[in-house]
């Protein structure tokens, strides 16, 4: 395949400064957590990636364990990099993470220096890269000193195997400490990747957004649609082919309580009044906060990606709309 990127790809996308760094990220970034693994249709993933880049999405977010099987999303992305995206590498922000289980034994997960640096080497090999733009500690490790975990990130940056350091799923107090440790090592903390959506607002309650704003750290919100809850799929029932219908998936049936379903229907009515789908409004709602640099979306098809991109057509909210949303969520 001879892929040629759309020469108008930067005309519509909005780019937002990542904290106080020199990096700007697209308002929407593409995550490869699902739909890009060895069990998925390769050409479908390839088409999604093409469509994303053709529409100004320059940030592609991966992790060592993305698949399934773990590692296969990076392998597939590496194939597409080599055949299609190679001329555009310098136009892209490519990230990876390490923290969850990747291989057996005591050195195959969490936050030790040995695990993080070994995992980064494996990720680079799978993707065929000399460096990633951002390397994250995927989750805090309760048994490893924070200095060791942050020291590994700083070492990766100083080696040139990562350009920037990031953390994910860290609470506010640990984020403060991590940012200070990295800064003292001469490696700024570029970004934090927390779960954040209308139904899960822990980053507000915990004070994480305040910490990031004060420390000049960017943020990228993952699970903006609450694993699909914040869409029109579950307004009436659980569809047989939906993610919630899979008993082994992340989204379980007990998440759809009568109270939650009532909220979803009220939010959906508000979205329709704005000329948006519930998913589009949910994405736009996250972008109202300037401390949120980018929203990390997933996609199972080009059509789904296009619908999410359309969220950027209306990101402004009136005070009345925001008040109505708060009333519904409370």
| Residue 11 counted as domain residue | no
Q: What is the DSSP letter of 85?
A: I
How much is the CA Rg of the chain, to the nearest whole Å?
Answer: 19
| Residue 16 counted as domain residue | no
Do 65 and 110 meet the contact criterion of CB atoms below 8 Å apart?
Answer: no
State the residue range of the domain holding 203: 23-329
| Residue 5 counted as domain residue | no
Do 276 and 284 meet the contact criterion of CB atoms below 8 Å apart?
Answer: yes
Predicted pLDDT of residue 192: 98
Counting the structural domains of the chain, the total is 1
240 pLDDT more than 60: no
| Residue 96 counted as domain residue | yes
Domain at 261, CATH number:
3.20.20.100
210 pLDDT more than 80: yes
Q: Using CA atoms, how far apart are residues 25 and 246, in angstroms rounded to an integer?
A: 34
Predicted pLDDT of residue 110: 98
Encode pLDDT of 76-109 as tens digits: 999 999 999 999 999 999 999 999 999 999 999 9
Helix (H) or strand (E) holding 74: helix 72-80
245 pLDDT more than 80: no
| Residue 148 counted as domain residue | yes
| Residue 135 counted as domain residue | yes
130 Ramachandran zone, left/alpha/beta (phi>0; psi -120 to 50): alpha
Q: Using CA atoms, how far apart are residues 180 and 17, in angstroms rounded to an integer?
A: 21
Compute, in degrees rounded to 10, the torsion defined by CA atoms 238, 257, 138, 54. Answer: 40
Predicted pLDDT of residue 233: 81
| Residue 146 counted as domain residue | yes
Mean pLDDT, range 130-145, rounded to an integer: 98
| Residue 144 counted as domain residue | yes
Q: Using CA atoms, how far apart are residues 254 and 62, in angstroms rounded to an integer?
A: 29
Q: Using CA atoms, how far apart are residues 90 and 298, in angstroms rounded to an integer?
A: 23
Do 78 and 37 meet the contact criterion of CB atoms below 8 Å apart?
Answer: no
Q: Using CA atoms, how far apart are residues 283 and 280, in angstroms rounded to an integer?
A: 5
């Amino acid at each position: 395949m001879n892929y040629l990127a759309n020469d108008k790809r930067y005309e519509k996308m909005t780019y937002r400064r990542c904290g106080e760094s020199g990096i700007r990220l697209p308002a929407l970034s593409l995550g490869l957590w699902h739909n890009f693994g060895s069990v998925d249709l390769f050409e479908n993933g390839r088409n999604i990636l093409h469509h994303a880049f053709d529409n100004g999405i320059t940030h592609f977010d991966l992790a060592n364990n993305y698949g399934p099987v773990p590692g296969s999303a990076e392998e597939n992305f590496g194939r597409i990099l080599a055949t299609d995206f190679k001329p555009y590498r310098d136009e892209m922000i490519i990230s990876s993470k390490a923290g969850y289980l990747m291989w057996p034994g005591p050195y195959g997960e969490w936050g030790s220096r040995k695990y993080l640096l070994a995992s980064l080497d494996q990720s680079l090999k799978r993707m065929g890269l000399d460096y990633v733009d951002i390397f994250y500690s995927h989750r805090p490790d309760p048994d490893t000193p924070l200095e060791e975990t942050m020291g590994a990130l700083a070492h990766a940056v100083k080696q040139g195997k990562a350009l920037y350091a990031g953390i994910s799923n860290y609470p506010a107090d640990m984020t403060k400490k991590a940012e200070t440790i990295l800064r003292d090592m001469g490696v700024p903390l570029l970004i934090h990747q927390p779960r954040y959506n209308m139904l899960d607002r822990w980053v507000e309650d915990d004070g994480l957004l305040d910490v990031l704003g004060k420390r000049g750290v960017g943020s990228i919100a993952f699970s903006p649609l609450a694993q699909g809850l914040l869409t029109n799929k579950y307004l009436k029932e659980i569809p047989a082919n939906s993610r919630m219908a899979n008993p082994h998936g992340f989204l379980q049936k007990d998440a759809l309580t009568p109270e939650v379903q009532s909220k979803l229907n009220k939010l959906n009515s508000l979205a329709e009044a704005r000329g948006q789908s519930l998913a589009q409004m949910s994405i736009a709602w996250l972008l109202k906060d300037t401390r949120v640099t980018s929203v990390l979306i997933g996609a199972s098809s080009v059509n789904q990606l296009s619908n999410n991109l359309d969220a950027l057509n209306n990101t402004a909210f009136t005070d009345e709309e925001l008040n109505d949303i708060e009333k519904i969520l409370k």
